[in-house]
Amino acid sequence: MKNVTNLFLVSLFSGVITLGTYKLFIEENSITSKNIVTTAPMFATKNVGLSAETVDFTEAAGSALNQVVHVKNVSYRTVYNPIEFMYGHRGGQQQQQIGTGSGVIISEDGYVVTNNHVIQGATELEITLNNKKTYPAKLIGTDSKMDIALLKVETDEKLPYAIFADSDQVKVGEWVLAVGNPYNLNSTVTAGIVSAKARNLDTSGIQSFIQTDAVVNPGNSGGALVNTRGELVGINTMISSNTGSYVGYSFAVPSNITRKIIEDIMEYGNVQRGILGIEGRELNGAASKELNLTESQGFYVNKVTKNSGAEKAGIKSGDVILKLDNQNVTSFAELSGYVNTKRPNDEINVTVNRDGRRLVIPVKLTKKELLNYEFYGLELEDLEPADKQRFKLKQGVKIKDITNEKLVPYAEELKGSIILSIDGVKAIDVETISRGLGSKTEKEGVRVELMLRNGQVMRVIL
């Protein structure tokens, strides 16, 4: 009888252990143009503390799938027969090349936004809707710096279109969906969270990406990054990978920057860039200690550009920028990302720390093209198309004037020359140089590679 009782107790105890294990390990784990809509509804859904299973992606995915298109890029190149080429027969044959990517419909009358690199060099463009209908597309305009392009298709039917969200309000940890056509697999949706905002990847253009762990692969470029309400928060642009395929993180151009670019293209025919007119460096513990500052976050102003809005408003070298309007500034990416949503003559309130005092300074942004950059006594300006054609260059900056006394004897030879790189960094434009040299003082030497007017390339140390 005692053995039977013991057996019963052991069985009962085992059952409790089994049930407890199930509860612990199984149940826990199952827990511009008036046609473009650029204002997201003013409400938010809070999913704090909820597991993935309680978030319903189906409605957002369903709407986004119909708003995202497949983009086909057709180009041609001439292929020569080596033997014919050797004997002077250089007619060659036209070989078709096809590239593919994604795009997002942003108006019912057929405007589509995509990446510039998706349509670059295209002779013909074609888009395919989610319902398999195809249309030829016309290129309206591009911004290669920010990797955004605007297309237009002509159709009598009203197309489903994306609504822009305010990307400044996107939160780290928020659920997002990436919608596109990776590897020509049409209408693909992946889910992830916003991993970081204002991510600086040291590219030549945009410095303020939204980083996400939603799976993105080749072909997703130009597709939509949407929130759980189906609103557009970004345009998927690139991945960070040694293999060329997804390994953990992808990056999107924020919707606020995208919206501003396409509105500029539609209204002005090109992108209107406003700049503050400052150079400097973002702060951290080491930089603050070096500069003897109390602030450990913000953007330290090392130099103010002559005749810029910042100079006219009274911003000074040594100021630490803490906020632009209501947006906190803890990095260059956050500063440039916010300014890139503005136009020349827009006014923004700049909050600075000056010698321990907080000041709010209204600054009217200056048009980028109206300012010249002065570097080590060299007044520089961006290359014009005629300069690029003459020197057969895609990038560089021109020396407009010489103010450095030591270089005055060489002024005649240096004026009109093209700077190709500084300290090994390509001189893409004046803004790139300004950003790269923002933390340097003119007491530090730099290596400059330049092309003289006669085409000779030389290297000097300033």
Task: Please say which residue of 212, 235, 268 terminates a domain.
Answer: 268
CB–CB of 122/74 below 8 Å? yes
CATH number of the CATH domain containing 130: 2.40.10.10
What pLDDT does residue 85 have?
53
pLDDT value at residue 428? 80
Q: Which of the following is catalytic: 70, 102, 107, 117? A: 117
Give residue 368's pLDDT.
Answer: 74
Per-residue pLDDT, 119 = 92
Residue-wise pLDDT for 92-141, tens only, equals 677 778 889 999 999 999 999 999 999 988 889 999 999 999 999 999 99
The span from the CA of 181 to the CA of 184, in Å, is 5
Q: 452 vs 79, 205, 270, 301, 410, CA distance in Å?
A: 34, 27, 31, 33, 12
Distance from C-alpha of 69 to C-alpha of 101, rounded to nearest angstrom: 9
- Give the three-class secondary structure for 52: helix
pLDDT at 324: 96
pLDDT at 37 over 70: no
Q: Which residues are within 8 A (CB) of 243 and not within 5 positions of it... i.e. 6 or more apart?
A: none
Judge if 362 and 383 occupy the same domain.
no
Distance from the Cα of residue 104 to its chain's centroid: 16
Residue 196's Cβ-count burial label (10 Å; 0-12, 13-18, 19+) is middle
Counting beta carbons within 10 angstroms of the beta carbon of residue 102, is it exposed (0 to 12), middle (13 to 18) or buried (19 or more)?
buried
Given 345, 369, 393, the domain boundary residue is 369
Contact 223, 104 (CB under 8 A): yes
Examine the domain organization and report whether 401 and 421 are in the same domain. Answer: yes
CA distance 450 to 422: 9
Residue 23 in domain: no
Q: 49 falls in which pLDDT band (50, 70, 90)?
A: very low
Enumerate helices (H) and strands (E) in the chain, giving the number of each.
12, 27
Structural contact between residues 449 and 421, judged by C-beta atoms closer than 8 angstroms: yes
CB 118 within 8 A of CB 221: yes
My answer on whether 285 and 322 are in the same domain is: yes
Please tell me the total count of domains within the chain: 4
**CB neighbour list of residue 298: distance below 8 Å, 6 or more residues apart:** 282, 283, 320, 321, 322, 329, 330, 353
pLDDT class for 23, splitting at 50, 70, 90?
Answer: very low
Task: State the catalytic residue, choosing from 63, 107, 221, 255.
Answer: 221
114 closest CA partner among 142, 140, 144, 149: 149
Both 198 and 261 in a single domain? Answer: yes
Within a domain: 1? no
Q: Are residues 171 and 194 in the same domain?
A: yes
Residue 317 sits in the same domain as residue 379: no
Tokens of residue 223, six digits: 């597709």
Residues 141 and 212 in one domain: no
Residue 255 and residue 239 in one domain: yes
Q: What is the pLDDT of residue 103?
A: 96
Cα separation, 396 vs 382, in Å, equals 7
Of 268, 301, 322, at which residue does a domain stop?
268
Inter-residue contact 329 to 276 (CB < 8 Å): no
Distance CA 111, CA 154 (A): 9
Note whether residue 313 is domain-resident.
yes
20 within some domain: no
Q: Give tens-digit pLDDT for 137-183.
A: 999 999 988 899 999 999 999 999 999 999 999 999 999 999 999 88
The pTM (predicted TM-score) of the whole model is: 0.73
**Same domain for 148 and 181?**
no
70 is catalytic: no
Model pLDDT, residue 378: 78
C-alpha 111/C-alpha 267 separation (Å) is 14
Q: Are residues 207 and 286 in the same domain?
A: no
233: pLDDT strictly greater than 80: yes
Q: Which of 63, 107, 143, 147 is catalytic?
A: 147
Confidence of residue 249 (pLDDT cuts 50, 70, 90): confident
With respect to residue 143, please indicate whether it lies within any of the assigned structural domains: yes
For 395-403, what is the mean pLDDT?
82
CATH code, domain carrying 426: 2.30.42.10
Q: If pLDDT is split at 50, 70 and 90, which confidence band does 452 have?
A: confident
Is the residue at 86 inside a domain?
Answer: yes
In this prediction, residue 453 carries a pLDDT of: 83
Greater model confidence, 429 or 365: 365
Please give the helix or strand (H or E) that residue 264 lies within, else none.
Answer: helix 255-268
- Residues 362 and 283 both lie in one domain: yes
Whether residue 56 lies in the annotated active site: no
Instruction: Specify the pLDDT at position 130.
Output: 93
Q: Where do runs of H (alpha helix) occur along 69-160?
A: 82-86, 116-119
Structural domain includes residue 287? yes
The residue segments making up the domain with residue 131 are 65-153
Co-location of 204 and 111 in the same domain = no
Across 122-174, the runs of DSSP E, i.e. the strands, are 124-128, 134-143, 148-153
Mean pLDDT score, 442-454: 79
Q: What is the pLDDT of residue 80?
A: 64
Look-up: residue for tokens 């080491």? 286
Task: Give a yes or no: residue 132 inside a domain.
Answer: yes
Comparing 17-21, 69-73, 281-285, the range with the smallest average pLDDT is: 17-21
Mean pLDDT of 204-210: 72
325 is an active site residue: no
> Residues 246-270: what's their mean pLDDT?
90
pLDDT computed for residue 29 by the predictor: 36
The values of phi and psi at residue 163, to 5°, are -100, 130
Q: How confident is the model at residue 336 (pLDDT cuts 50, 70, 90)?
A: confident
Residue 403 Cα to chain centre, angstroms:
35
Do the Cβ atoms of 342 and 349 come closer than 8 Å?
no
Q: Above 60 in pLDDT, residue 358?
A: yes
